[in-house]
Amino acid sequence: MARIKKINHVAIVVPEIEGALGFWEQALGLEVHHIEEVPSQKSRVAFLPAGESKVELVTPSSSDSTLAKFLQERGPGIHHVCLEVDNLEEMLADLKEKGVRLINEIPQVLPGRKMAFIHPKSAGGVLVELYEVTAEGH
């Protein structure tokens, strides 16, 4: 049976990454590990390690993305919680069997990771991302 290993990251949606970094880097002392474009999500993401987990600052890269809509409707703030799992496909099959509504029934594959989202309607209003680090991600 698949299991949750840890909280991988907490994602915070921001209007633009550079402006948000003032607080996270200067006030809190976190350092950006890297910034990347995620075309499949129409977003740009900055990863800031915080112990065993990360803070992920995410901004829309397109005005027609679901992230842009989220930011417009709700403003900046927590977007989702990401749980790292040891076997994403097994976890998704188990959740589907339990009747959990999934946004992604098949994992999206990105360099170093596979990911899928659970619909907030099944998680008490919280968008939950499931994440499996692959061999390239170590």
* pLDDT exceeds cutoff 70 at 136: no
Residue 114: CATH number of its domain = 3.10.180.10
pLDDT digits (tens, 9 = 90+) for 3-48: 999 999 999 999 999 999 999 999 999 999 999 998 888 999 999 9
What is the distance between the alpha carbons of residues 5 and 112, in angstroms, rounded to a whole number? Answer: 17
Domain count for the chain, please give it: 1
Range of the domain at 100: 4-137
pLDDT digits (tens, 9 = 90+) for 101-125: 999 999 999 889 999 999 999 999 9
Helix (H) or strand (E) holding 20: helix 17-21
pTM for this entry: 0.91
What is the distance between the alpha carbons of residues 121 and 75, in angstroms, rounded to a whole number? Answer: 20
Angle made by CA atoms 85, 10, 99, in degrees to the nearest 5? 50
- The predicted pLDDT at position 49 comes to 97
